[in-house]
């Protein structure tokens, strides 16, 4: 039997965690990014497909490449964030299935022969992996600011010109400025969102 994690941990990951729009001038290191990835990679995906691809943008030059694709409301906070992650998905994720799912080699051919199924699987599971990234970053003491306000086509043309990798969403990561968010917005109650059959 596993024990629930502590109330302190639950607060850090969910209950008191916020979406940050402002950032303290404190860097995030390569080692921290590796720790985030090496924790989040253990989250489950369909057929252990791991279709997400992550581009960690920290340099000013990288941010300037990203700027034209951002919605106006996301520019300033992204330019000052220590790291902006492009959470993307690889449409040819099936090419790694012989490594990731070796006990069922036919899975590679299933996705290779059915592009719509492959894209649906890649998009869904990269969304899961992006959520694991947020949870892992918070668990390791970092703050996050996920965003969907950007032009996917512009971003993909700049960062993924081959057309094999597609952007899903963006997430700023760093140490959040507590003055950068307003009062917490409500969430749906269990009875408004859930059914038990």
Distance CA(182)–CA(172), nearest Å, equals 18
Mean pLDDT of 154-182: 95
Alpha carbon 190 to its chain centroid, in Å, reads 25
Distance CA(87)–CA(129), nearest Å, equals 8
Distance CA(57)–CA(137), nearest Å, equals 15
One-character DSSP codes across 28-68: --HHHHHHHHHHHTTS--GGG---EEEEEE-SHHHHHHHGG
Distance CA(191)–CA(102), nearest Å, equals 42
Contact in structure between 20 and 177 (CB atoms under 8 Å): yes
Q: 87 by DSSP, 3-state: which?
A: strand
Question: How many CB atoms are located within 10 Å of the residue 62 CB?
Answer: 16
For the chain, what is the mean pLDDT? 97
Quote the pLDDT of residue 86. Answer: 98
Quote the pLDDT of residue 180. Answer: 87
Residue 182, pLDDT above cutoff 90: no
Quote the pLDDT of residue 81. Answer: 98
Contact in structure between 171 and 145 (CB atoms under 8 Å): yes
Distance CA(183)–CA(56), nearest Å, equals 29
pLDDT tens, position by position, 84-127:
999 999 999 999 999 999 999 999 999 999 999 999 999 999 99
Quote the pLDDT of residue 113. Answer: 97
pLDDT tens, position by position, 19-47:
999 999 999 999 999 999 999 999 999 99
Distance CA(87)–CA(133), nearest Å, equals 9
**pLDDT tier, 52 (very low <50, low <70, confident <90, very high otherwise):** very high
Residue 192 tokens, joined: 């408004």
Can you give the pTM of this predicted structure? Answer: 0.96
């Amino acid at each position: 039997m596993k024990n629930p994690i502590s109330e302190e941990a639950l607060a850090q990951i969910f209950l008191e965690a916020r979406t940050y729009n402002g950032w303290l001038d404190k860097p995030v290191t390569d080692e921290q990014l590796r720790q985030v990835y090496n924790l989040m990679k253990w989250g489950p995906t369909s057929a252990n497909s791991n279709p997400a691809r992550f581009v960690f943008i920290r340099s000013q030059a990288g941010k300037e490449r990203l700027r034209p694709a951002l919605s106006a409301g996301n520019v300033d906070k992204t330019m000052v964030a220590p790291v902006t992650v492009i959470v993307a998905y690889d449409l040819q994720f099936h090419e790694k299935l012989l490594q990731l799912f070796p006990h069922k080699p036919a899975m590679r051919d299933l996705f290779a022969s059915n592009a719509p199924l492959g894209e649906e699987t890649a998009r869904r599971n990269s969304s899961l992996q992006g959520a694991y990234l947020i949870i892992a970053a918070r668990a390791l003491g970092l703050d996050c600011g996920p965003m969907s306000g950007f032009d996917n086509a512009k971003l993909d043309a700049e960062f993924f010109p081959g057309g094999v990798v597609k952007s899903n969403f963006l997430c700023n990561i760093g140490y959040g400025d507590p003055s950068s968010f307003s009062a917490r917005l409500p969430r749906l109650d269990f009875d408004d969102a859930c059914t038990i059959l």
